[in-house]
Amino acid sequence: MNAPAKLPIAEIWVYLSGNPLYALILTLLAFQAGVWLYERGGRRPLANPVAIAVVLVAGSLRLADMPYERYFEGAQPEWVAPLFAQSVTAPIAMGVAQQIGASPTLTAVFAVVTGILGAVLGRFVLDAVGCRAWWQRGFALGTAAHGIGTSRAFSVNIDAGRFASLAMGLHGVLGALLVPAVARWL
């Protein structure tokens, strides 16, 4: 290939979609766009950066006719996997899903949707129940909306963010102990 400018579009695309780096770049750019819109929009809870990124990536995959499995393999290289496991709620949810015969992928989707919903609705629920102290607001968000709620809490108030981290960790520990026991009864 000594004339790269003459490569047909399709051939370029085959190269791009075959290389995991580009799935990672797509994810990072979509998330960057989500964060940018979130910041520009005055950090309103409804403009959740994760939700925006998911819509952008899903739309790109559909446009490019790229199967989700191929994207996911690329977006999750070995060095991202342990970091992902750091958000304790996801592997616990997926482990429990396997125990009770549910789909791990669907469980992960619901876990993420729960996180987005918590980050979006948190402010309104907490205002409605009259919870004002930042550390309490963060703790509630970390409990209900794990990593995504923690990101949201950090963007609003540093104390809220730190207590959201704490709640997320505690929820992870207690969840790992209690959820399998409860799942046996369901």
Partner 1 sequence: MQVIPGLAQILVFQGLGELLSRFATPILPGPVLGLIALLAYLLIAGRASESLSVVADGFSRNLGLLFVPAAVGVVLFLPQLAAHWLAISAALIGSVVATIAVTAWVLRLAVRADRAGRGDDASTGAR
Residues in region 109-168 near partner 1 by CB under 8 A? 109-118, 121-122, 125-126, 128-129, 131-137, 139-141, 143-145, 147-148, 150-152, 154-155, 159, 161-162, 164-165, 167
Pick 7 or 72: Cβ nearer partner 1:
72
Contacting partner 1 within 34-53 (CB under 8 A): 34, 49-50, 53
And the tokens for 20?
């995991």
Q: Applying CB under 8 A, which part among 3-11, 12-20, 39-47, 72-80 lies near partner 1? A: 72-80
> Is residue 98 close enough to count as binding partner 1 by CB under 8 A?
no
Q: Could you tell me how many residues of this chain bind partner 1 (CB under 8 A)?
A: 82
Question: What distance separates the 2 farthest-apart alpha carbons in the chain?
Answer: 68
Distance CA 132, CA 85 (A): 32
Smallest distance, partner 1 to C-beta of residue 104, A: 10
* Closer Cβ to partner 1, 7 or 133, answer by number: 133
Radius of gyration of the chain (CA): 19
Distance CA 50, CA 120 (A): 11
Of 177, 178, 182, 183, the one binding partner 1 (CB under 8 A) is 177
Say if residues 46 and 120 touch (Cβ distance below 8 Å): yes
Across 58-74, b (16+ Cβ under 10 Å) vs e yields: eeebeeeebeeeebeeb
